[in-house]
Amino acid sequence: MHPLRGVRCIPSPLAQILNTSKTAQAQILSDWMLPGTCVIYRRADLLKAADRYHKDGVEAVVTKQDRMHCGHGIRRWESMENLYNVVSMLPSAYPFVLQPFLTRFTDVRVILVGDFVEAYSRTNPHNFRQNLAAGGTHRPFSLSKEMEAFCRAVMERGRFPYAHVDLQVVDETTVYLSEIALNGGIAGADIDRKRLDQKKQALVEAVARASSLEGSPERIDCDG
């Protein structure tokens, strides 16, 4: 809420920024992401990251191009040297997210809207991009209370009223955030788009009503 104008946006401006920018997510939500995840803004950042990765024994890496979705901007590189040889000559490639390539994990999408929670895994043995847009298959996933708490902690930090959260689940106790969005694909979910949108709208209206009862100046609710 703006302290003087009394404007409240739902979803919050922070959530709307994070929704569209992978680099912003890596900056704000890095505590929940795979260790070593960072944002590369220029050639010097890439060289520093290469030194750090080499010291840590990291070989294959993944880059995520900012503001691209459906796995189109995700690329795997066999080494930091290969990445540097290409990207250092392409100024237009910056900024992008860099992280170690995780070889074994379960790719899970979690949809959270208020008390509603649904999760499903995505698998593609022929493509490291596990999402369904890249030809993967799906099955229901049993989300533990700890994993749900993990998702809600990410949502709280990003001020997301609802979210589609992508997780990298290594084992029962090791979970990393891959990405978060306000809206995303639901091809593997039981809920349909119409019902999901109704739940999101109902939540937005409930938050707006609760805000109006706080006694603060009149607010403008923005369903972004």
Domains of the chain: 7-21+104-224 (3.30.470.20), 35-101 (3.30.1490.20)
Segment among 108-112, 166-170, 176-180, 185-189 with least mean pLDDT: 185-189
Predicted model pTM: 0.87
Which residue bears the tokens 């080499």? Answer: 54
Q: Which residue has the higher pLDDT, 220 or 60?
A: 60
Question: 101-129: per-residue pLDDT in tens?
Answer: 998 999 999 999 999 999 999 988 766 66
**Buried b or exposed e, range 17-46, using 16+ CB within 10 angstroms:** ebbebbbbbbebbbebbbeebbbbeeeebb
Query: What is the rounded CA–CA span in Å between residue 175 and residue 184?
Result: 20
Model confidence at 42: pLDDT above 50: yes
Mean pLDDT for all residues in the chain: 88
pLDDT score for 224: 40
Asked whether the predicted pLDDT for residue 162 surpasses 90, the reply is: yes
For residue 16, give both structure tokens: 């709307």
Residue 39 has a pLDDT of 97
| DSSP line for 93-141 | G-SEEEEEPP-S-EEEEEEEETTEEEEEEEE-TT-S--SGGGT-EEEE-
pLDDT digits (tens, 9 = 90+) for 61-107: 999 998 766 567 889 999 999 999 998 888 788 999 999 999 899 99
Report the C-alpha gap between 179 and 143 in whole angstroms.
17
Strands 74-77 and 174-181: unpaired
